[in-house]
Amino acid sequence: MNYPTIALASSSPRRRELLAQLGVNYELVKADIDETPLPGESAVEYVQRLALAKAHAGLARLTTLLPVLGADTIVVVDNDILGKPTDFAEFRQTMQRLSGRSHQVVTAVALVSPVRQLQQLVTTQVYFRPLTEAEISAYWASGEPQDKAGGYGIQGLAAKFVQRINGSYTAVVGLPLCETEQMLQQWQESL
């Protein structure tokens, strides 16, 4: 399938790697947005809003007429959104909440142009085994958790904490490839 060339509104190297797996030609576009949750906003509303906002912010910066892909991934436990940890204390608290139980990873993807938009939402259940304090400290010391939603990267060292998942592995990494490919096909077929 020949996908349209797109602009990717993301600074995530993981999203770039995943998009490359589909063989999609893309150019990067900066998309700085305010990621503060709105009062009363649910986790699903939040992640969908951010994906769409990133795509529209990228669209506003383009000088060409490419569709723009924006995505956002959040980790949710007990209806709380767990962001990127700002320090070890916050990270430790997050890992203690995830230890020995399941949580949701929710990824939203938006593909937009000035006249059209498509969106997808993928929720994956992730099950962590119980973690020791030593494991939590060692993982923090690795440097990997600092820029990750929920304080971990399933594709990295934290893979050893994951007992199982129910859903899309690539969505947990940051871009659900099955759903993204379907969006690109739908976009191409309607041109």
Q: Is 115 exposed, middle or buried (0-12, 13-18, 19+ CB in 10 A)?
A: exposed
Cα atoms in the Cβ-side hemisphere of radius 13 Å centred on 89? 0
Structure tokens at 39: 């009062």
Find residue 26's DSSP bridge partners: 6
d(CA 95, CA 89): 10
Q: Which three-class secondary structure state does DSSP give residue 127?
A: strand
Place of tokens 């859903």: 167
Q: Residue 85's closest CA among 177, 14, 166, 158?
A: 158
> What are residue 105's phi and psi, to 5 degrees?
-115, 120
72 among known catalytic residues: yes
Amino acid at 175: L
Which of 32, 34, 72, 78 is the catalytic position? 72
Q: Which three-class secondary structure state does DSSP give residue 32?
A: coil
d(CA 160, CA 58): 35
Catalytic positions are: 72
